[in-house]
Structure formats: C-alpha cells, structure tokens
C-alpha cells in the first residue's frame, strides 16, 4: 500500500540513500535479478503486476527505484507480512544497488 501511495504521489524525491564514493560492485546480474525474483516479482511482475508496478525487468526497476528503496530497502513494508523477507544485509545491498543507478 505504501508503495502505491508513493508512486501515486509522484514517487519519493529523497530517501537519504547515496551511492558509496567508490561506487558499487552490486549489479542486476549478480544481485538484482535474483533479489527481485525471490522477493518482488511474484506480486510485481509481468502482466499481472499488482498496482501496475512491474519489477520483472531492469527498466521496470529503474522506473520505481526510489520507491523500492523507500519501502523495501530502507523500510521494511515490502514484501508484505507472510511472504519471505530479505535479510538486513540484502536490504542494504538493494539500497546500494539502486542508489548507484542499478547497474
């Protein structure tokens, strides 16, 4: 629900997340794709993406990156209760990856 509110209001303009000065080694290939498959795309993927939020592709993630950082990286409201949830370390990697432009 929070993700819907954030995206409906034009997204999050700032989350406090910044790319490390040294950049990141975290990429779609070595992290993002598996993370999204494990925790996001069962609800936010393909033709049946909840609330129209499709995170099954790099372009879809880029479109919602700030909101994903806010609710699934820095926040913990996604995935919703009852679903498998990422660890704190995985959430930190998600924030790093998206804050660095999701390479």
The residue-averaged pLDDT of 33-51 equals 94
CA 36 → CA 1, 10, 44, distances in Å? Answer: 18, 22, 9
The residue-averaged pLDDT of 10-15 equals 42
Q: Is the pTM of this model over 0.85?
A: no
Q: Predicted confidence band at 15 (pLDDT cuts at 50, 70, 90)?
A: low
Q: Which of 78, 11, 82, 93 has its CA nearest to residue 41?
A: 78
On the question of pLDDT at 2 being above 80, the answer is no
Mean of the per-residue pLDDT values of the chain: 85
Q: Residues 103, 58: contact at Cβ < 8 Å?
A: no
**Tens digits of per-residue pLDDT, 69-82?**
999 999 889 999 88
């Amino acid at each position: 629900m929070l993700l819907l509110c954030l995206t409906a209001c034009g997204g999050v303009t700032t989350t406090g997340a910044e790319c490390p000065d040294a950049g990141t080694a975290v990429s779609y290939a070595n992290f993002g794709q598996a993370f999204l498959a494990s925790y996001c795309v069962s609800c936010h993927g393909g033709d049946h993406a909840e609330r129209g939020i499709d995170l099954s592709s790099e372009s879809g993630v880029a479109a919602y990156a700030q909101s994903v950082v806010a609710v699934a990286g820095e926040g913990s409201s996604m995935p919703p209760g009852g679903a498998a949830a990422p660890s704190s370390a995985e959430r930190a990697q998600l924030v790093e990856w998206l804050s660095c432009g999701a390479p």
